Each structure stands twice: as structure tokens, then as C-alpha cells.
């Protein structure tokens, strides 16, 4: 083949490299509602204007709790789940760079020396040195689709990293708030136990002067001991939560101690107002949705790679070097060797291997699309769930706070009647137990509201993301 023919073939090959055997990627479409069903019913919701940031970059700062902020910031670098996701992201970046390598020729050096016999049974030496270059012409888009697949995978792993951060933030914040609720429960039980001690002393004094029975003392003792036992049990739950937070910070339980810090009000802190946009905004904000969408793009590109394997591969090869029977004059002009030319390799019979691989790639794409759509509607459901839960718990909290108010009034009146000798101690036990139960229920509702509030923040996407690898 003459030199100008080789150049012509190379030029035509480069023109063919703009071809593709598979369609360009488009995001799967999914019909979403224009608004959340429970949004207008929850007082803590505000629809954000287009120019308004949907959520603070550090969403937890809305709770104005310095200790929570410090814990969450520490978890960003210390948590091992986040470190694992970050390592997977770096791996995704490296694989994306590797997928771009075939876009340019590969050049390899080679050197060899051998000694053996020839056909005339005489010793023969052979020394070779040179370089070999090869370049696959991307006629059918195999390399381009491999690059697109690698880039989509890197973007998916970046979204996975953001999702891991959100997951850790969610669990840590919810555990922290439950810890504070337990601190509030502990303080409530301690105060109640002190009140029951005074009731026991009063009953004992009345018993000593013949105004109370031994049964009443037993009732007061039982009530006091039960309350103290409940206070002790709080310590077990608190220790487990503290240990869980330590794990999220990459520490052993012995390395972390969180001081008790109960809420100062009966109803807990004021929950932040959530300002967010419409359900369609979840497609841009939630990292799990972004990761699922990028894996659809990756699967689509992999179909292009599989289909390209059905067609012949065109490769340009070149070599240059020297060959001689000794090293003394190896690098001389007469010993120079070179070659340049295309090579075409295509499948003839593979027992439907490549066709089966293509069908498998299409099936993986369909599965990725279904997973993406399921992730989207699940994200919308999570927002709706927590909006509805916050609305219901808000109303429940109001009713429970009213119940606490009347329970305190009942305790005060019954204790006064008992001191005046016109009521039995059994009535005091009943109203005091009802008050303690009502106050604990109110704290439990507050904890559930805090947990749902964090879950709503996370369901809306939490912090801003960067999906550029």
C-alpha cells in the first residue's frame, strides 16, 4: 500500500469517527404535581420565590443550637461513611479520566534480545529496540460513549457523597434532639421525684399524728420509687444515643461525652419555617435523585458501548525501531525498521455474545429508569409525609399543652384538699400520675416534631450540591 493511500484511509477514518450507533441521552420524563398536598395546611411552610434561596447551605443553623452545629461540622470530616463515599467519588473521577485515554494514540516502547538456532542449525543473535503506537478510530462511538459513561458515573458518585453527608447529618441531628428530649425528661422526673418526696413527708407527718393510714404512706413510697426508677431508665437510653453520636463522629463511646442540656420550655424550641419550592425542584436538589438520574445516563451510554461492539474496530498502527544481530551497530540506518497502516477487526461468529451483551445493557437502562422514577416519587412522598406529620403534631402539641395546664390545676386543688383533710391520698396519687404522664407526652411530641422537622429538611435536599466532576 502506498503512502498516500494510507493517508487517505486515515482521513476517511477520522471523518467516520463522528458516527454513532446509539441515540443521545435525554432525561426520563415524569409527571409531578405543581405543589405539595400538605403544604398549605402546615403553618411552618413557606413557598420560596424563584430568586430566594430554598434552604440555607447549613440547614442546621436554622435551629440556632451551637452544640448541634459543632457536632455536624465535625462529622463532615470525621465520619467514616462520608470518607467511604468520598473515596468512591475519587475512584469515579479516576475512572472517568481513564475512559478518556483511548481518545489519543497509545505509544509503548519495546526492547528485546534473543539467542538461538536457525534453520541451518547455527547460532543466531537478534537485538531489537523501538516504539509502537496504536490508535482506535472511534467509528461507531464506542470510545465517546465510554467517556460519557465514565463522566456520568463520576457525577453519580459525587451525588452519592452528598447523599451520604445528608444521611449522616439527618441521623446525627435526630439523635441529638432525642438526647435533649431525654435530658428534659430526666429533669422532669427529677423535679417530680422531689415533689413526691415532699408529698411522702407530708403523708408521714399526717400519719404520725393519726391523720393518715399506713396505706397512704405505702402509696406515696410506691409513687416516689416508680418515678426514681423511670429516671434511672432514662440514663440507659441516653447512653445509647450518646454512643450512636460518637460513632457518627468516628469516635469510640469513651471519647465523647455530651453534657446534659434540657429545653427550658414545656413545648420545646420553636421549629424553623421551611422555605422551599415545588416538587419539580427535588429533581435538582436531592442528591439521591441526582445520583439515580446520572446512572440512567451511564446506562444509556453503556448501550452505545455494547452496540459498537457489534461492528468492526478500525485501528491505526505505527512502529519504528532498529533490529540487528549485535548491539555494536544497532542504531544505524541500515538496521532501521518502520511500519504504518490501518487494521480492521470485526466479529464473524461469537454465538450471540455481543448481541446478548447489548440486550443486557438495554435491560440495565430500563431498570435504571424505573429506579430513577421510583426515587423521584419516593422523594415527593417523604416531603408529603413530614409535612403532614408536622401539621398533625403541631395540633397535637397544642392539645397536649392544654392537658398539662389542666393537670397542674387538678394537682394543686387536690393537694390543697388533702392538706385540709377533705380528700383521700389516693386522689392525690391519681392526679399527680396524670400530670407526670401528660408532661412526658408533651415532651415526646416535641421530640417527634423535631425529628420530623429534620426529616423534612433532608427530604427537601438539605444543602446545595455541585455535580461537576
Give the CATH number for residue 50: 1.20.1600.10
Residue 409 lies in a domain: yes
Please tell me the predicted confidence (pLDDT) of residue 469.
41
The mean per-residue pLDDT over the stretch 78-99 comes to: 96
Q: What is the pTM of this model?
A: 0.86
Residue 412 lies in a domain: yes
Please tell me the predicted confidence (pLDDT) of residue 451.
95
**Euclidean distance between CA atoms 43 and 65, whole angstroms:** 22
DSSP string over 62-127: GG--HHHHHHHHHHHHH-HHHHHHHHHHHHHHHHHHHHHGGGS-EEEEEEEEEEEE-TTS-EEEEE
Specify the higher pLDDT residue, 276 or 240: 240
Residue 294 lies in a domain: yes
Please tell me the predicted confidence (pLDDT) of residue 459.
92
Please tell me the predicted confidence (pLDDT) of residue 329.
77
How far CA 70 is from CA of 141, 249, 256, in Å, comes to 50, 11, 13
Residue 67 lies in a domain: yes
Give the N- to C-terminal CA distance of the chain in Å, as an integer.
45
* 139: number of Cβ within 10 Å: 23
pLDDT at 26 over 80: yes
DSSP string over 249-289: TT--GGG--------SSTT-SPPPPEEE--GGGHHHH-HHH
Q: Which grid cell is 102?
A: 483511548
Residue 246 lies in a domain: yes
* Selection from 252, 235, 266 nearest residue 446 by Cα: 266
DSSP, collapsed to helix, strand or coil, labels residue 3 as: helix
Residues 6+ apart with CB under 8 A from 352: none
For residue 85, the enclosing domain spans: 20-103+139-311+354-459
Winning range, highest mean pLDDT, from 103-117, 236-250, 316-330: 236-250
Residue 38 lies in a domain: yes
Residue 39 lies in a domain: yes
The mean per-residue pLDDT over the stretch 72-94 comes to: 96
Tally helices (H) and strands (E) across the chain. 9, 6
Residue 392 lies in a domain: yes
The 10s digit of each residue's pLDDT in 376-434 is 999 999 999 999 999 999 999 999 999 999 999 999 999 999 888 888 888 999 999 99
Find the largest Cα–Cα distance for the chain: 132
Q: Say how many domains are in the chain.
A: 1
Amino acid at each position: 500500500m502506498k503512502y498516500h493511500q494510507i493517508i487517505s484511509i486515515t482521513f476517511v477514518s477520522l471523518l467516520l469517527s463522528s458516527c454513532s450507533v446509539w441515540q443521545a441521552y435525554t432525561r426520563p420524563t415524569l409527571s409531578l404535581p405543581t405543589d405539595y398536598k400538605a403544604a398549605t395546611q402546615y403553618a411552618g411552610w413557606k413557598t420560596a420565590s424563584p430568586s430566594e434561596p430554598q434552604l440555607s447551605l447549613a440547614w442546621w443553623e436554622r435551629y440556632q443550637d451551637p452544640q448541634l452545629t459543632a457536632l455536624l461540622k465535625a462529622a463532615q470530616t470525621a465520619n467514616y461513611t462520608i470518607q467511604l463515599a468520598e473515596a468512591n467519588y475519587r475512584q469515579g473521577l479516576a475512572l472517568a479520566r481513564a475512559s478518556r485515554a483511548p481518545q489519543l494514540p497509545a505509544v509503548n516502547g519495546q526492547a528485546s534480545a534473543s539467542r538461538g538456532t536457525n534453520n541451518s542449525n547455527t547460532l543466531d543473535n537478534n537485538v531489537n529496540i523501538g516504539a509502537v503506537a496504536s490508535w482506535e478510530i472511534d467509528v461507531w462511538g464506542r470510545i465517546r460513549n465510554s467517556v460519557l459513561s465514565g463522566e456520568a458515573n463520576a457525577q453519580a458518585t459525587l451525588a452519592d457523597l452528598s447523599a451520604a453527608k445528608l444521611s449522616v447529618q439527618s441521623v446525627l441531628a435526630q439523635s441529638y434532639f432525642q438526647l435533649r428530649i431525654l435530658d428534659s425528661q430526666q429533669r422532669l422526673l427529677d423535679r417530680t421525684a422531689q415533689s413526691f418526696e415532699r408529698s411522702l413527708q407530708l403523708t408521714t407527718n399526717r400519719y404520725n399524728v393519726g391523720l393518715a393510714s399506713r396505706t397512704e404512706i405505702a402509696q406515696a413510697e410506691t409513687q416516689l420509687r416508680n418515678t426514681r426508677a423511670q429516671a434511672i431508665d432514662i440514663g440507659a437510653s441516653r447512653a445509647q444515643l450518646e454512643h450512636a453520636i460518637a460513632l457518627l463522629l468516628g469516635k469510640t463511646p469513651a471519647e465523647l461525652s455530651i453534657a446534659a442540656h434540657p429545653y427550658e420550655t414545656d413545648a420545646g424550641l420553636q421549629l424553623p419555617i421551611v422555605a422551599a419550592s415545588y416538587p419539580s425542584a427535588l429533581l435538582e436538589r436531592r442528591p439521591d435523585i441526582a445520583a439515580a438520574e446520572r446512572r440512567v445516563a451511564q446506562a444509556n451510554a453503556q448501550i452505545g458501548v455494547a452496540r459498537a461492539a457489534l461492528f468492526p474496530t478500525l485501528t491505526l498502527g505505527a512502529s519504528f525501531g532498529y533490529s540487528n544481530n549485535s548491539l555494536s551497530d544497532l542504531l544505524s540506518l541500515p538496521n532501521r525498521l518502520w511500519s504504518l497502516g490501518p487494521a480492521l477487526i470485526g466479529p464473524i461468529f461469537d454465538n450471540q455474545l455481543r448481541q446478548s451483551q447489548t440486550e443486557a445493557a438495554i435491560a440495565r437502562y430500563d431498570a435504571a429508569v424505573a429506579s430513577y422514577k421510583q426515587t423521584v416519587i419516593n422523594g415527593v412522598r417523604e416531603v408529603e409525609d413530614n409535612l403532614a406529620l408536622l401539621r398533625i403534631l403541631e395540633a397535637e402539641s397544642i392539645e397536649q399543652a392544654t392537658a398539662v395546664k389542666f393537670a397542674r390545676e387538678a394537682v394543686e386543688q387536690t393537694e390543697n384538699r388533702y392538706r385540709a383533710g377533705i380528700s383521700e391520698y389516693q386522689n392525690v396519687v391519681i392526679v399527680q400520675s396524670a400530670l407526670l404522664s401528660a408532661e412526658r407526652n408533651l415532651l415526646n411530641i416535641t421530640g417527634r416534631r423535631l425529628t420530623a422537622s429534620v426529616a423534612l429538611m433532608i427530604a427537601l435536599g438539605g444543602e446545595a450540591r455541585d455535580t461537576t466532576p
